Structure 1
């Protein structure tokens, strides 16, 4: 595989990840906000519920589904970050040794461009990763 092809392939992946971020960022921000508001309303319903245990379980089941939905976004966002970090490590590892100079330059260029990992975020507020999910779902934030 030539260095030019690797460089073009990496640029294609980088552009598509940026396009994906631009397209879904606003939607994910709105969805995260609506999940947060809905969780607040559901918790209010649980606290003020004078009804049966069935009502409380219904609200709890709905809240667990919403938290799971947020967890799926965070899981795959974390996978994107992890995989994009391994691109830089792999390119640096491959750039050593008895490789042609053009290939080493191309790999080093890929390593430099991949130095900042790709991620998916909800607008400018937070990046979807496991740490964000833990901070949102932990008891410290309540």
Structure 2
């Protein structure tokens, strides 16, 4: 069972990586459309506060990618340390994959070890990069809704300021700003829907397999010496898998929470003294925003913190069953 767990969590990581790579290859055109859509004028307001929020999103996304990918590379690097230490102590090294080669000769052992490091690192970087990409799009949608909420709350004040500067009709100015907010909301909604249509199935596969990966890794972890390098590497691996699942659930949950506040932002606008057309427009937006964005994996599993907890509980259940069958 220990050998099986060692093989399975690596195999399952390869499967999730391939599932996402297939989508990136087959849906490349729609992904390009989604990325180009982020440059749309509706998603890039001219206000300084909006630009600061967008810059903060880009900065945090960059740090997320570097830290996440760095943790994966460090884990794979540690995985080549303990085979070397095991061989140096005179014991036989058994790799978790079939090669058909005799690894006793130093040259063959070195080549197989380097091959193992190359493949695992490549899969680690691929997984972390694709996960960070999806999380960044979700984070971008959340930031866009935050900007929209800010614009809706101040739409009456912005209307009156513009009327003072231009002398235009107040209702005409309001409708122009309101249409901009409506287009902004539609664009965010389209981006979130396109992301779900493209990556819904791979994320669902990730959730389904992620629990088994955690289960197998935990089963392997409890059999290791706490002060060993292998224990450290396995702990980092589990941390990477937890981060992988948490990213989708956290940013999906943040998008839903921010979307739920749009109707409240429209209500918070100082509409009491505004005209009938202004109040009617805000009311229509509030009715439309009553159904918040709820990104889901395969239209089945919601991207939420509650889903993350369910995956953790399921993983522990699988682990407990395996321990009882030992």
**TM over 0.5, shorter chain:** yes
Q: Summarize the alignment of residues 66-81 of structure 1 with structure 2, pairs less than 5 Å apart.
A: 66-81=241-256
SS in 1 for 2:204: helix
RMSD over equivalenced CA pairs, Å: 2.5
Q: Quote how far apart the aligned CAs of 1:22 are.
A: 1.3
> Is 1:125 aligned with 2:300?
yes
Please say if residues 80 and 118 of structure 1, whose CA atoms lie closer than 8 Å, have aligned partners that are also in contact: yes
Q: Is the alpha carbon distance of 1:46 and 1:90 closer, same or farther for their aligned partners in structure 2, counting shifts above 3 Å?
A: same
Q: Quote how far apart the aligned CAs of 1:112 are.
A: 1.2
Please say if residues 207 and 311 of structure 2, whose CA atoms lie closer than 8 Å, have aligned partners that are also in contact: no
SS in 2 for 1:124: coil
Report how many residues are paired. Answer: 140
Q: Is the alpha carbon distance of 1:92 and 1:141 closer, same or farther for their aligned partners in structure 2, counting shifts above 3 Å?
A: farther
Q: Quote how far apart the aligned CAs of 1:41 are.
A: 2.3
Please say if residues 225 and 231 of structure 2, whose CA atoms lie closer than 8 Å, have aligned partners that are also in contact: yes
Distance in 1 separating the partners of 2:240 and 2:206:
14
Tell me which of the two structures has the higher relative contact order, counting C-alpha pairs closer than 8 angstroms and 6 or more residues apart. 1
1:83 to 254, 258, 264: 258
Distance in 1 separating the partners of 2:275 and 2:261:
22
TM-score, normalised to structure 1, is 0.80
Q: Quote how far apart the aligned CAs of 1:27 are.
A: 2.1
Larger radius of gyration: 2
Q: Summarize the alignment of residues 1-142 of structure 1 with structure 2, pairs less than 5 Å apart.
A: 1-2=174-175, 3-47=178-222, 49=223, 52-53=225-226, 54=228, 55-94=230-269, 96-138=271-313, 142=317
Question: What runs of 5+ residues in structure 1 fail to find an aligned partner?
Answer: none
Question: What runs of 5+ residues in structure 2 fail to find an aligned partner?
Answer: 1-173, 318-326
SS in 2 for 1:118: coil
Please say if residues 212 and 315 of structure 2, whose CA atoms lie closer than 8 Å, have aligned partners that are also in contact: no
Q: Quote how far apart the aligned CAs of 1:140 are.
A: 9.5
Distance in 2 separating the partners of 1:66 and 1:24:
18
Distance in 2 separating the partners of 1:43 and 1:6:
48
Q: Is the alpha carbon distance of 1:107 and 1:125 closer, same or farther for their aligned partners in structure 2, counting shifts above 3 Å?
A: same
Partner residue, 2:93: none
Distance in 2 separating the partners of 1:116 and 1:127:
14
Q: Is the alpha carbon distance of 1:84 and 1:75 closer, same or farther for their aligned partners in structure 2, counting shifts above 3 Å?
A: same
Q: Which runs of 4+ in 1 moved over 6 A?
A: none
Partner residue, 2:148: none
Residues 42-99 of structure 1, C-alpha deviation per residue, up to 9 Å, x if partnerless?
A: 233235x4x5442334323211210122112221111101110111111123274122
Distance in 2 separating the partners of 1:16 and 1:140:
32
